[in-house]
Amino acid sequence: MRGPITPRTHGVLTLLLLLLALLTGLVGIALVAVLPAVLYALIIAAGLPLVIYLFCGKCVCRGDRCLMVYPGRLSVRLPDRRGEAYTTADGAGILGTLVLLAVFPLYWLWQTTPLFVLFAVLALAAHAEVMLVVCRACENCRCPVNRWFHGKGLTTGA
């Protein structure tokens, strides 16, 4: 019998941790400077849908099979790209966006140490959740991370 903490629960927890990290970054910037905070809010507003378009749009689990739930449901409102393989440009767009979301607030967060620590803990926890649980149970056979887990025999099944 499966316990209450399923891979889908971990997927939603990952999203919650990520959103809390981004909110922490936004607050940390706003406490020091308003204009960069507005810019970061715009980066978040454009970056998250871009990741959903680039990654989730090609995922074979989009829709109700998505372990992260909300991105999968949002992706069905975007053009169906499931027949396409992930390209280098997709990877660069996804990684570039995620790095920008993680790195942009660091200068301002460094000036408010408790928020810097909170941001780091939340972001690292989200990364750990996705890599240690969600990706290992995901069925997106096109994803390079999924293929790596399958190649090493590290998948858990959803």
Range of the domain at 109: 7-152
Examine the pLDDT at 108 and tell me if it is beyond 90: yes
Region label for 145, one of left (φ > 0), alpha (ψ between -120 and 50) or beta (otherwise):
alpha
Q: What is the CA radius of gyration of the chain?
A: 16
- 42-52 pLDDT, tens digit per residue, is 999 999 999 99
Kindly report whether the global pTM for this prediction surpasses the value 0.75: yes
Domain assignment present for residue 130? The answer is: yes
Domain count of the fold of the chain: 1
Domain assignment present for residue 157? The answer is: no
Domain assignment present for residue 158? The answer is: no
Domain assignment present for residue 92? The answer is: yes
Domain assignment present for residue 142? The answer is: yes
Average pLDDT estimate for 51-73: 87
- pLDDT in the model for residue 103: 97
Domain assignment present for residue 50? The answer is: yes
Domain assignment present for residue 2? The answer is: no
- What whole-number distance in Å separates Cα of residue 97 and Cα of residue 86? 16
Domain assignment present for residue 88? The answer is: yes
* Alpha-carbon separation of residue 91 from 26, 37, 62, 68, 94 (angstroms): 25, 27, 18, 19, 5
